[in-house]
Structure 1
């Protein structure tokens, strides 16, 4: 989700991949593409800022932080040992940059997975809903971490299988955090009415929407579509 959530994208970053590949062909960045600082776009830097804010607030579990750090080191490890970059200049784009349906899919993922949960957390601070905040934060933190790592992998230093590793790994982990989020929301005792009751219903709906979307993203897109295509392109690189 490099700010563009979804099939990572990878769960989030296919449009980012497309912009990057197109820029290599033209030897310059498209003026309409996101501005970049170094190898990261501003959407990735925004994800870093969100990671820092959540971590500094003390709302991030040590287990989730350890998972992100382990994934980062493991990504570099397998990129050297198992899936080195074979032909950086010849790696093709998996999906067409003109695929509007994919762009819409990524946008929907960003809204459901990041924007609405962030709004839910901010609103929970004002409503003093500590239980709701604690339940939604792990998903947001891991998705922001995924967006950042996707930005890192879309460079000549990483091969297509590494780009697949990030969304599949993080999407799988986040499903477990969403399950915990669902349990927390449905276990709330509705002792209050009014705004708190409406917030409770909104939290449940948001958790259900995220569960449905990211389960489909993993089992309906990443594993049966994106993963096979990426490995097929990687291992047929000599023929491209």
Structure 2
């Protein structure tokens, strides 16, 4: 398996977020360690559990041009990255450390997930590995979103506090659906069927 250049514009952006968040102390050692562990574990799985079965990359699970999936990805980007980043930047401007502390772990882990997905796609990793990354990270981030939600509802007498609560709720609903309604029941089985050579019905 040859590792090609994978630092696209999107991966460079997410890598920048990862570095800035880690260097500024906005994420704890546990989340940083989780990201480092995921990188090492992906290479371990690709070597001993789910190696690439051919020299040619596996086809995409949902085809090359799936407009619905494309819209879904953009929705995920706005809910999970763009809006929370804006929320954190406003917290930095206002000196709201509690807001930053609550929302930053989710943004950091989602940025790490996007970066890792770029690594697995461009690096020619097998389909099970490509599925593992979003499932692994999504499962972890649900717990960080719960902590974010608990922090938001624990605040009292904060002006426009409903914005943070609404954003945390939206992320919890979306990413729970993403994990339990899409990744596990749809994406994972289709990817496994392709990997093990079964015929996949359209």
Q: Please tell me the TM-score bracket, short chain as reference.
A: over 0.9
Contact residue 57 and residue 124 of structure 2 kept, 8 A: no
Alignment partner, residue 202 of structure 1: 163
- Distance in 2 of aligned mates of 1:60 and 1:132: 13
Alignment partner, residue 136 of structure 2: 169
Q: Secondary structure at the match of 2:183?
A: helix
Alignment partner, residue 100 of structure 2: 133
Alignment partner, residue 214 of structure 1: 175
Q: CA deviation at 1:97?
A: 2.3
TM-score, normalisation: structure 1: 0.79
Alignment partner, residue 116 of structure 1: 83
The gaps in structure 1 that reach 5 residues or longer are 1-36, 191-195
Aligned residues: 197
- Distance in 2 of aligned mates of 1:93 and 1:154: 10
The gaps in structure 2 that reach 5 residues or longer are none
Q: Secondary structure at the match of 1:151?
A: helix
Alignment partner, residue 229 of structure 1: 190
**Residues 149-195 of structure 1 deviation map (CA, whole Å, 9 limit, x = unaligned):** 000000354100000010000000000000000000000011xxxxx
Moved over 6 A (4+): none
Contact residue 102 and residue 148 of structure 2 kept, 8 A: yes
TM-score, normalisation: structure 2: 0.93
Alignment partner, residue 71 of structure 1: 38
RMSD over aligned Cα, in angstroms? 1.7
Alignment partner, residue 13 of structure 2: 46
**Residues 128-151 of structure 1 deviation map (CA, whole Å, 9 limit, x = unaligned):** 211111000000000000011000
**Residues 183-220 of structure 1 deviation map (CA, whole Å, 9 limit, x = unaligned):** 00000011xxxxx511x110000000000000000000
Q: CA deviation at 1:88?
A: 3.5
Q: CA deviation at 1:90?
A: 5.8
Contact residue 90 and residue 237 of structure 1 kept, 8 A: no
